[in-house]
Structure 1
């Protein structure tokens, strides 16, 4: 699984690096480093709904620093089961 987080201007201002750091922490805490690759991209064309996050080639999702855990459990752990 590849998780891509936008780090373009709008997403950066809305906390993309906080989202990345929380995702890194959760990936490590759940011991799934061998199953999940975390990447950054500069614009995913979803600036109004920042922070933009995409799993593999799926749709662009809006993730905020305060809902990263919910996103992770639903979309990352849910897909890996």
Structure 2
């Protein structure tokens, strides 16, 4: 199971974290990955100076926005599931 944690703290909230969560959930559903990927929120991931903070499993904190979320999903989620 892959866990995607999205920051929903005040800074990321203002940068659109709930839109990111909704997009990720839709991508998970569109790819029929409900049994393999979970999307959840976290209070703060400590990367407040960049776009929305996001973490896959226990990996590094990454930053995403609406323009790169699709690339993030393809490279960080779909590639991991295919290998």
TM-score by length of 2: 0.94
Number of the residue aligned with 1:17: 18
Consecutive unaligned residues in structure 2, runs of 5 or more: none
Structure 2 residue 54 is matched with structure 1 residue 76? no
Q: Return structure 1 stretches of 4+ with deviation > 3 angstroms.
A: none
Query: Between Structure 1 and Structure 2, which shows a larger proportion of helix residues?
Result: 1
Residues 15-74 of structure 1 deviation map (CA, whole Å, 9 limit, x = unaligned): 101100000000000000000011100101110013000000000000002211110001
CA distance in 2, matches of 1:60, 1:71: 12
- Matched residue SS, 1:31: coil
| Cα root mean square deviation, aligned | 0.6
